[in-house]
């Protein structure tokens, strides 16, 4: 795949496999659909590093850091469907997360088109699907976790206004989900200006202790600014444990 997330040819053939860090059944722990039983597909790879979020840069570092690449499995759409089908008796939501799913939008489309329940794609909103070519993406709730200055990412890499606007225009169930540990109201206002989507704020924290340290500030921040507070249940209950 090239830097724009487009499929590339390998040995004259289109590579349709998706690098997957893990697939598991759990409860959605954050955002708009918190509490919903869900099947999670965590893809491997990301186009950002977010060094401001701690030594590992991400609470799902094993799906981002290429040192863990040997743990990712290259799965076909058939393989992924088989895993999802194990849990359909629970009528779960489908959550595609990462890493950054935007790197594989084209490859993921058959899953989006096939799955009948609610779908959330957790993304940093720097890459957008082609909504005209792949219209089923319009039914998806994109959890746009646009990175703020506390991520230590360069602004022009982390904020893609045209992508944010395109997703907001085409996928009406979408919402913003910001990770904060200090007053970043001005940044949030700049990113969300003119877009009528819910705004959720979550405390920064890759561990239960860090989460609890930041939660009171974020709670008050949401009250003062009319934002929606989102806890991070999986971190609160399980810390850095995978598959939850």
Higher pLDDT among residues 27 and 241, named by residue: 27
Check residue 1 and give its pLDDT.
39
Residue 55: band (very low, low, confident or very high) from pLDDT cuts 50, 70, 90: low
Residue 8 has pLDDT above 50, yes or no: no
* CATH number of the domain that residue 184 is part of: 3.20.20.70
Residue 9: band (very low, low, confident or very high) from pLDDT cuts 50, 70, 90: very low
- Torsion 20-242-58-113 (CA) sign: positive
- Per residue in 143-197, pLDDT (tens digit) is 999 999 999 999 999 999 999 999 999 999 999 999 999 999 999 999 999 999 9
Domain that holds residue 146: 18-238
> 55-59, 177-181, 219-223: which range is least confident on average?
55-59
- Per residue in 67-90, pLDDT (tens digit) is 899 999 999 999 999 999 999 999
Domain-embedded: residue 6: no
Domain-embedded: residue 40: yes
Q: Roughly what angle, to the nearest 10 degrees, separates helices 208-225 and 185-192?
A: 70
Domain-embedded: residue 12: no
Alpha carbon separation from 155 to 89, 123, 151, 162, 206 (Å, rounded)? 43, 16, 10, 14, 23
Domain-embedded: residue 142: yes
Domain-embedded: residue 1: no
Looking at residues 15-33, what average pLDDT do you find? 94
State the average pLDDT for the chain.
91
**How many domains does one find in the chain?**
1
Looking at residues 106-113, what average pLDDT do you find? 98
Q: Is 233 helix (H, G, I), strand (E, B) or coil?
A: helix
Higher pLDDT among residues 185 and 65, named by residue: 185
Check residue 17 and give its pLDDT.
95
Residue 58: band (very low, low, confident or very high) from pLDDT cuts 50, 70, 90: confident
Residue 118 has pLDDT above 60, yes or no: yes
Domain-embedded: residue 55: yes
**What element of type H or E holds 201?**
strand 199-203
Domain-embedded: residue 49: yes
Residue 230 has pLDDT above 80, yes or no: yes
Domain-embedded: residue 145: yes
- Per residue in 88-98, pLDDT (tens digit) is 999 999 999 99
Residue 13: band (very low, low, confident or very high) from pLDDT cuts 50, 70, 90: very low
Mark residue 93 as left, alpha or beta (left: phi above 0; alpha: psi -120 to 50; beta: remaining). beta
**Rounded-to-integer distance, Cα 181 and Cα 178, Å:** 10
Residue 6 has pLDDT above 60, yes or no: no
């Amino acid at each position: 795949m090239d830097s724009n997330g487009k499929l590339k040819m390998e040995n004259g053939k289109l590579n349709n496999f998706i690098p997957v860090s893990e697939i598991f059944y759990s409860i959605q722990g954050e955002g708009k659909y918190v509490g919903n039983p869900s099947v999670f597909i965590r893809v491997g790879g990301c186009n950002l590093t977010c060094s401001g979020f701690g030594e590992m840069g991400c609470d799902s570092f094993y799906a981002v850091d290429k040192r863990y690449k040997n743990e990712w499995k290259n799965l076909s759409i058939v393989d992924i469907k088989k895993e999802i089908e194990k849990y359909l008796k629970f009528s779960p939501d489908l959550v595609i997360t990462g890493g950054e799913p935007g790197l594989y939008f084209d490859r993921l489309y058959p899953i989006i088109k096939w799955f009948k329940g609610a779908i959330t794609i957790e993304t940093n909103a720097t890459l957008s699907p082609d909504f005209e070519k792949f219209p089923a993406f319009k039914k998806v709730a994109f959890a746009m976790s646009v990175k703020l200055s506390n991520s230590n990412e360069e602004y022009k890499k982390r904020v893609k206004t045209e992508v944010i606007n395109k997703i907001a225009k085409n996928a009406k169930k979408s919402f913003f989900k910001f990770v904060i540990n200090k007053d970043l109201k001005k940044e949030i206002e700049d990113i969300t200006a003119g877009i009528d989507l819910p705004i959720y704020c979550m405390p920064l924290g890759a561990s239960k202790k860090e989460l609890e340290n930041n939660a009171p500030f974020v709670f008050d921040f949401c009250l003062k600014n009319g934002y929606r507070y989102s806890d991070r249940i999986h971190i609160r209950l399980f810390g850095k444990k995978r598959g939850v």
